[in-house]
Amino acid sequence: MIAFLNGVADERKWQDSFAILAMMQEVTQTEPKMWGDSIVGFGKYQYKYESGREGDMPVLRELVAQSVAHMKKNA
Protein backbone atom coordinates (compact mmCIF):
# COMPACT_ATOMS: atom_id res chain seq x y z
CA MET A 1 0.00 0.00 0.00
CA ILE A 2 2.84 2.40 0.79
CA ALA A 3 4.45 1.56 -2.55
CA PHE A 4 1.13 2.30 -4.27
CA LEU A 5 0.86 5.74 -2.65
CA ASN A 6 4.56 6.42 -3.22
CA GLY A 7 3.84 6.07 -6.94
CA VAL A 8 2.26 9.53 -6.99
CA ALA A 9 4.70 11.82 -8.79
CA ASP A 10 3.16 15.16 -7.81
CA GLU A 11 4.58 16.20 -4.43
CA ARG A 12 1.43 17.91 -3.16
CA LYS A 13 -0.84 15.03 -4.18
CA TRP A 14 1.61 12.60 -2.57
CA GLN A 15 1.48 14.57 0.70
CA ASP A 16 -2.32 14.78 0.52
CA SER A 17 -2.59 11.01 0.03
CA PHE A 18 -0.62 10.31 3.20
CA ALA A 19 -2.51 12.98 5.15
CA ILE A 20 -5.83 11.38 4.21
CA LEU A 21 -4.46 7.94 5.00
CA ALA A 22 -3.49 9.11 8.51
CA MET A 23 -6.89 10.73 9.07
CA MET A 24 -8.74 7.60 8.01
CA GLN A 25 -6.59 5.42 10.28
CA GLU A 26 -7.39 7.72 13.19
CA VAL A 27 -11.13 7.78 12.47
CA THR A 28 -11.53 4.04 11.83
CA GLN A 29 -8.92 2.82 14.34
CA THR A 30 -7.98 0.12 11.79
CA GLU A 31 -4.95 -0.54 9.64
CA PRO A 32 -5.26 0.08 5.89
CA LYS A 33 -5.18 -2.81 3.43
CA MET A 34 -4.94 -2.92 -0.35
CA TRP A 35 -8.03 -4.33 -2.04
CA GLY A 36 -7.02 -5.10 -5.58
CA ASP A 37 -4.52 -2.78 -7.18
CA SER A 38 -6.16 0.62 -6.65
CA ILE A 39 -8.27 0.67 -3.47
CA VAL A 40 -7.00 1.27 0.04
CA GLY A 41 -9.62 -0.04 2.45
CA PHE A 42 -10.21 -0.01 6.18
CA GLY A 43 -11.96 -2.81 8.00
CA LYS A 44 -13.74 -5.76 6.39
CA TYR A 45 -17.41 -6.40 5.72
CA GLN A 46 -18.63 -9.86 4.72
CA TYR A 47 -21.75 -9.89 2.58
CA LYS A 48 -24.03 -12.65 1.37
CA TYR A 49 -26.87 -12.30 -1.12
CA GLU A 50 -30.04 -14.36 -1.09
CA SER A 51 -28.68 -16.07 -4.20
CA GLY A 52 -25.87 -17.49 -2.07
CA ARG A 53 -23.16 -15.31 -3.59
CA GLU A 54 -20.86 -13.95 -0.91
CA GLY A 55 -17.66 -12.02 -0.55
CA ASP A 56 -15.68 -9.44 1.37
CA MET A 57 -15.26 -5.73 0.89
CA PRO A 58 -13.71 -2.92 2.89
CA VAL A 59 -16.01 -1.10 5.29
CA LEU A 60 -14.46 2.19 4.26
CA ARG A 61 -12.53 2.88 1.08
CA GLU A 62 -9.98 5.56 0.55
CA LEU A 63 -11.39 7.28 -2.48
CA VAL A 64 -8.10 9.07 -2.95
CA ALA A 65 -6.61 5.71 -3.93
CA GLN A 66 -8.83 5.66 -6.98
CA SER A 67 -7.64 9.15 -7.85
CA VAL A 68 -4.03 8.04 -7.42
CA ALA A 69 -4.58 5.28 -9.97
CA HIS A 70 -6.06 7.87 -12.32
CA MET A 71 -3.13 10.24 -11.72
CA LYS A 72 -0.62 7.47 -12.48
CA LYS A 73 -2.34 6.72 -15.79
CA ASN A 74 -2.38 10.38 -16.78
CA ALA A 75 1.11 11.32 -15.57
| Domain residue limits, the chain | 2-73
Q: Is the pLDDT of residue 8 over 80?
A: yes
pTM of the complete model: 0.65
What's the rounded mean pLDDT across residues 5-16? 88
What's the rounded mean pLDDT across residues 7-31? 88
Q: What is the pLDDT of residues 28-73, one digit of tens each?
A: 899 999 988 888 889 898 999 999 999 998 888 765 555 666 666 6
- Sequential DSSP letters for the chain: -HHHHHT--SHHHHHHHHHHHHHHHHHH-S-EEEETTTEEEES-EEEE-TTS-EEEE-SEEEHHHHHHHHHHHT-
pLDDT at 47: 92
Report the DSSP beta bridge partners of residue 35. Answer: 39
With contact defined as beta carbons under 8 Å apart, do 37 and 19 qualify?
no
What's the rounded mean pLDDT across residues 7-16? 88
Distance CA 10, CA 42 (A): 25
